[in-house]
Structure formats: structure tokens, C-alpha cells
Amino acid sequence: MRFDVAVLSRTGGRARNEDACGYWTSADAGCWVVSDGAGGHGGGDVAARTVVGNIVREFAAGPRISAEGIATLIRGANRAVLVRQRSSRDLHDMRATVAVLAIDCAREFALWGHVGDTRVYGFRDRQLRFQSRDDSVLQSMIDAGYGSAGLLRSHPRRGVLLHALGTDEPMPPSPIGDRPVFLRDGDAFLLCTDGLWEYVGEAQMEHGLAAAANAASWLAALEAEVLQRALPGHDNYSAIALQVSEMGDATRFDTL
């Protein structure tokens, strides 16, 4: 299995970049992580780096690609943020979102999970097949019938989250599915913070993927959309784009 990976993380119109991205791959497995931090006095960037570093390190030490394995990684990252909170008064209120994608290369399947409003998107045949649901107050209202999905990009309280890393409260991660999804040549994934998806609609994601020669050019097209649409002072924006190829078994017909 071959991975074409591109990573993008920009400060945007802010003074500090509080996003973080990271990944680890081997011949047997891969793990990709994006996090968006929040907190005064530099706490947001510390929280995001703590989440990404902890998940990548723990996965590399012993890849465990299952729904429970991803939940364990997320819970471990939450504990790591809590420990860092106690190390400094300036960090006591820091929080972070997270999106995690893991792939088993031998068995050619993917699993993923997230907390907060950092999203995971999956594409097959250059078309969007799924996107994660935000752990936000606004998303829960929309699910209950109070408003449309368009509010997720325009409502003034769209960033109020139900769950984030950095709390002692029960915080179940939000796996998109607890069964593995077997991959096909050309399947693509996008993990991104709200600073990117707020300005890039799903149709633009599909269009950029269809026109892109590789993961890097796909991300470049998405960044161009952000820069064209974003207002002054806009948020940090970060993403990992991943395309898979050279699959060993072309007879699988599982769908994203």
C-alpha cells in the first residue's frame, strides 16, 4: 500500500498558530492526527502539540487499529493534556479538539475517530462519502431539527463544543464507525480544523480533489479557497490530505 500525504498548517490572521498536525507510518500501519487547541497565554498551541505528540508516540509504540484502540489513544491524549494543565497556571484552562485516522496496511482497512469540531472526510471515486459530525451545541440543535447544516459555517456560536480534550468529565470519543472500512485504490481522506472547513465547502473539496495531481496540489487548492474567502483576522487553518494506492486486493467492494 502506498500513501501520498500532504500536511498544511498556517497561522492565518492570528498572532499564534494553535493547530498541530502529525503522522507516523510503517510498512504495516499508519496514523494521522490533527488537533486545534484553545486557551490563553499560549495554552492552545501547547494543548494541540501535546495531543498530536502523545497520539503519534503511543500509536508508533504499538499500533492497535480498532475502535477501542483509537478510543484508547484519544483518552491517553486527554490525560496528557490534564497533566500539562497542572504544570503551569498559564495552562490550566487549555483544551483541544482532535481527529485521528488509522490504517492497517496488511488488511487494508481504515478506522477513525474525533472529538470536537476538527473533522474527518472520506472520498471514494473523488466523491465525498462521509464526514464526521461535530461535537458542538449547534450540531446537536441541527440534529434535533432546529436549523440547517449551513449554520455550521455562519452561526456566531458555531464554535461552542460539547466535548474537547482537557477535561475530567466523561468524554467519549466519537468514532464514525466501529467496523473497519476496507480501502480501494484512490480512496482519499482529509483531516482538517474548522479554520479550513469553515471556508471550504464540501463541493469545493470534491472539485479540488478531482483536479489535483497529488495530495499536495489538493491541499494547495483548498488553501486558495480559504485565502479567497476568509475575513481579516481569520483562524489558524490546518489539514492533512491522504490518498491511498497500490492496494493488494482489488476484489473488495466495501463502501465508505
Per residue in 29-76, pLDDT (tens digit) is: 999 999 999 987 789 999 999 999 999 999 999 999 998 999 999 999
7, 18, 172 from 195: Cα distances, Å: 15, 11, 24
4-18, 43-57, 162-176, 196-210: range with lowest mean pLDDT: 162-176
The pLDDT score that the predictor gives to residue 250 is: 43
- Could you tell me how many residues make up the chain? 256
CB count in 10 Å sphere of residue 228: 9
Task: Give a yes or no: residue 149 inside a domain.
Answer: no
Task: Give a yes or no: residue 157 inside a domain.
Answer: no
Location of C-alpha cell 486527554: 78
Alpha helices in 62-123 (DSSP H): 67-85
Q: How confident is the model at residue 177 (pLDDT cuts 50, 70, 90)?
A: low
Q: How confident is the model at residue 146 (pLDDT cuts 50, 70, 90)?
A: confident
HSE of 50, CA atoms in CB hemisphere, 13 A: 27
Query: pTM of the entire structure?
Result: 0.92
Domain at 24, CATH number: 3.60.40.10
Task: Give a yes or no: residue 252 inside a domain.
Answer: no
Q: Is the pLDDT of residue 252 over 90?
A: no
Q: How many domains does the chain have?
A: 1
Task: Give a yes or no: residue 207 inside a domain.
Answer: yes
CA–CA dist 131, 4 (Å, integer) = 20
CA–CA dist 86, 89 (Å, integer) = 7
Domain membership of residue 81 as a residue range: 2-132+162-245
Element (H, E) at 171: none
Q: How confident is the model at residue 172 (pLDDT cuts 50, 70, 90)?
A: low
Mean of pLDDT values over 156-169: 81
Which has more pLDDT, 171 or 90? 90
Per residue in 109-141, pLDDT (tens digit) is: 999 999 999 999 999 999 999 989 888 766 677
**DSSP structure class, residue 213:** S
Task: Give a yes or no: residue 153 inside a domain.
Answer: no
| Radius of gyration, CA atoms only, the chain | 17
Q: Is the pLDDT of residue 161 over 50?
A: yes
Task: Give a yes or no: residue 113 inside a domain.
Answer: yes
